[in-house]
Chains A and B, each alone.
Chain A
Amino acid sequence: MASNAGSRNPFALSAASPRSSSQKVLANVSLGVIGLAFVIPLGWLVLASFDRSASLSAKLPEPFTLHNYAAVATGTIAGIPMINSAVLSTISAVVTVVVAILAAYPLSRYRMRYNKAFLYGVLFGTCLPITAMMVPVYSLFVRLNLLDSIGGTGLFLAATQLPMAIFMTKNFMDSVPISLEEAAWVDGASAMQALRAIVVPLMRPGIAVVFIFNFVGAWGNFFVPFILLLSPEKQPASVSIFTFFGQYGAVAYGQLAAFSILYSLPVLFLYVLVQRFIGGSFLMSGAVKG
């Protein structure tokens, strides 16, 4: 396992003792119950997506049909919005990762006076209610002429995710031993060169974690693109999913469920990919120092 927190195989030492098998059973059973509890709400979602006359009650679809998926998997309903979501989230995630790595380097490597204050302040930024700030942000974007631009919106999303990203990146960076950089400095490399050539490659799993954290956050964000994008063809899927809450509250549950699943699959898939990439352990190893 490539986890850089140095995890050890938990079974190696306790597998021997006889009590461990009952522990194992307890663990498996309790996890099974919890897992079941977690998946049940999603059960309705899946069932309703295959049911043309879905209601809020979970029932086996009769007939089992792909009609809902066919109805939503069109270019205008799902195709273009999901592509927009992908572009927006990628821009946001890439910008965040780059800026966060740059910012985390001095915070991690140099002991400066305001490190702690800056990090606390940055952390505090994670509780800001974005909805309340959208009015001044709109005016700001008008002045900067960034309205109705996917790049501008991605930039803003990146900014809102930056606090958490800097915090996590710094923690990942902290676990990369500085000795290698020191060797490079002795050889005359600059800090930036050392960062690019040594630190970043060693932080790849951490970078993947920050990337996906950010991507998922941007993927699901409704309010920011709703306010900052004007053209309908630029709207991401998070905005178009609301089209299934029809006028006067008439909701087509089956289609909404189908669209929800289509909309969720890419990020789920991305998570699985990233998890494989970092060697199968959970994402947070090293992200939150303890």
Chain B
Amino acid sequence: MVSPTRSGAPPHARSRSHGLVRILPLVPAIAMLAVFMLGPVIWSFYGSFTNTALTGPNALHPRLVGLDNYSNLISDPNFPKSVWLTVVFVFMSAIVGQNVLGLFVASMLRRANPAVRAVVGTLIVAAWIMPEIVAAFAAYAFFSDGGTFSQLSAWVGLHSPNMLYDHPMAAVVIANIWRGTAFSMMVYTAALDDVPPDVIEAAEVDGASGFQRLVRITLPMIRRSISTNFMLTTLQTLSVFTLIWVMTSGGPGTDSSTLPVLAYQQAFKFSKIGYGTAIATVMLLVGAVFSIIYIRMLKPEVD
């Protein structure tokens, strides 16, 4: 891709309008983000140190409780379980599932028949474009006892377990891969398009196998897309809520209660806003950790 040269400021005729005018176009974005995002986030962060509730005496007189919410979190056995489930969910569905499948599909699409390309591409995108509630509901029906999954298993002679009850994490991971692969597919299609085919051809002529070509040539050349896509899919997957909530409600018990589900339950089912925002703060920390890992290790190209 041609990297644009950035010569800096517009030429001398306007050099007096440096600095402030330059960043003026950023002002609407900064204002919106500050008012609607940063403000509430700061409030939420502050709220996590209180016992604010939606009802009950703490609704009328919320008090600062210091780190109580956080210490309760740590001593609650459901919390480390939830962190672990979240990590598993993000790793399996985003990092492994969507990226690998997306890359695979992208590379297959390049070689396929145009009709197949169009049809399959649309089908994969359909799962991503449709509203999350509809996708969640379709996934719920698919995995429910007696739903399409068990019907298909019976058809090939296997008895399927009740996925939503026995393997809820597997069910939501698969559902999230189904839902989000399109994004990775599209990113990798664009990335692969920029890989010069002559380099691949040369390697082929030299006798490199498909796998070697992939690992030694293609992957390094699209390294920046991979790392950026990792970051994007991770951050998006961290906050997935509706899909899991509709499919399993975080259950059975708390077996599929990732952090967003736990935060929602505490904040709205039990009306404990303070506690719920403490969980949300932890979520942001998890996101920050992932982000820092990516930035350090993979150095995604952002500038």
Given known pairs A34-B120, A162-B33, A178-B7, the reply for A10 and B39 (CB within 8 Å) is no
Given known pairs A102-B25, A284-B189, A284-B190, the reply for A132 and B39 (CB within 8 Å) is no
Contact, CB under 8 Å: A129 / B124 = no
Could you give, for residues 178-210 of chain A, a 1 whenever the CB lies within 8 Å of some chain B CB and a 0 otherwise?
100010011010111011000000000000000
Could you give, for residues 227-259 of chain A, a 1 whenever the CB lies within 8 Å of some chain B CB and a 0 otherwise?
000000000001001100000000001001000
Does A70 have its Cβ within 8 Å of any Cβ on chain B? no
A34 proximity list for chain B (CB < 8 A) = 101, 105, 108, 120, 124
Contact, CB under 8 Å: B32 / A130 = no
| Partner among A57, A127, A271 whose Cβ is within 8 Å of the Cβ of B283 | A127
Contact, CB under 8 Å: A185 / B242 = no
With both chains docked as a complex, state the minimum distance between the C-beta of A195 and any C-beta of chain B, in angstroms: 8
With both chains docked as a complex, state the minimum distance between the C-beta of A186 and any C-beta of chain B, in angstroms: 6
| Partner among A107, A159, A260 whose Cβ is within 8 Å of the Cβ of B35 | A159
Contact, CB under 8 Å: B133 / A41 = no
A220 proximity list for chain B (CB < 8 A) = 130-134
A194 proximity list for chain B (CB < 8 A) = 10
Contact, CB under 8 Å: A35 / B224 = no
Give the distance in Å from the alpha carbon of A241 to the alpha carbon of B138 in the complex: 14
Does B116 have its Cβ within 8 Å of any Cβ on chain A? yes
Majority DSSP secondary structure for residues of A touching B: helix
| Partner among B35, B190, B259, B279 whose Cβ is within 8 Å of the Cβ of A7 | B190
Does B73 have its Cβ within 8 Å of any Cβ on chain A? no
Give the contact-size bracket for chain A. Answer: 35 or more
Contact, CB under 8 Å: A131 / B264 = yes
B273 proximity list for chain A (CB < 8 A) = 135
Does A58 have its Cβ within 8 Å of any Cβ on chain B? yes
Could you give, for residues 90-110 of chain A, a 1 whenever the CB lies within 8 Å of some chain B CB and a 0 otherwise?
000000001110110111111
Does B14 have its Cβ within 8 Å of any Cβ on chain A? yes
Contact, CB under 8 Å: B39 / A123 = no
Majority DSSP secondary structure for residues of B touching A: helix
| Partner among B9, B183, B225 whose Cβ is within 8 Å of the Cβ of A290 | B225
B185 proximity list for chain A (CB < 8 A) = 282
Which of these binds chain A: B64-72, B75-83, B142-150?
A: B142-150
Which residues in window 252-303 of B have CB below 8 A to A?
Answer: 259-260, 263-264, 267-268, 273, 276-277, 279-280, 283-284, 287-288, 291, 295, 301-303
With both chains docked as a complex, state the minimum distance between the C-beta of A202 and any C-beta of chain B, in angstroms: 12
Contact, CB under 8 Å: A288 / B189 = no
With both chains docked as a complex, state the minimum distance between the C-beta of A118 and any C-beta of chain B, in angstroms: 8
B280 proximity list for chain A (CB < 8 A) = 129, 132-133
Does B206 have its Cβ within 8 Å of any Cβ on chain A? no
Contact, CB under 8 Å: B10 / A41 = no
B29 proximity list for chain A (CB < 8 A) = 99-100, 102-103, 162, 166
A56 proximity list for chain B (CB < 8 A) = 141, 144-147
Contact, CB under 8 Å: B235 / A263 = no
Contact, CB under 8 Å: B25 / A287 = no
Chain A minimum-CB-distance residue to B235: A127
Contact, CB under 8 Å: B124 / A110 = no
Which residues in window 173-198 of B have CB below 8 A to A?
Answer: 178, 183, 185-187, 189-191, 193-194, 197-198
Does B229 have its Cβ within 8 Å of any Cβ on chain A? yes
A263 proximity list for chain B (CB < 8 A) = 131, 134
Contact, CB under 8 Å: B277 / A260 = no
Does A176 have its Cβ within 8 Å of any Cβ on chain B? yes
Does B28 have its Cβ within 8 Å of any Cβ on chain A? yes
Chain B minimum-CB-distance residue to A286: B190
| Partner among A6, A105, A123 whose Cβ is within 8 Å of the Cβ of B231 | A123
| Partner among B44, B131, B139 whose Cβ is within 8 Å of the Cβ of A41 | B139
Contact, CB under 8 Å: A109 / B112 = no
Chain B minimum-CB-distance residue to A20: B111
Does B163 have its Cβ within 8 Å of any Cβ on chain A? no
Given known pairs A7-B193, A111-B6, A288-B228, the reply for A44 and B148 (CB within 8 Å) is yes
- Can you list 29 pairs linking A and B with CB atoms under 8 Å apart? A3-B193, A8-B197, A14-B201, A28-B112, A31-B112, A38-B120, A41-B139, A42-B138, A56-B146, A102-B28, A106-B25, A112-B22, A116-B303, A124-B291, A127-B283, A129-B241, A132-B44, A132-B267, A132-B277, A132-B283, A135-B267, A185-B11, A185-B14, A194-B10, A238-B131, A256-B137, A260-B134, A263-B134, A285-B186
Smallest CB-CB A-B distances: 5 pairs: A290-B225, A220-B131, A132-B280, A284-B186, A7-B193
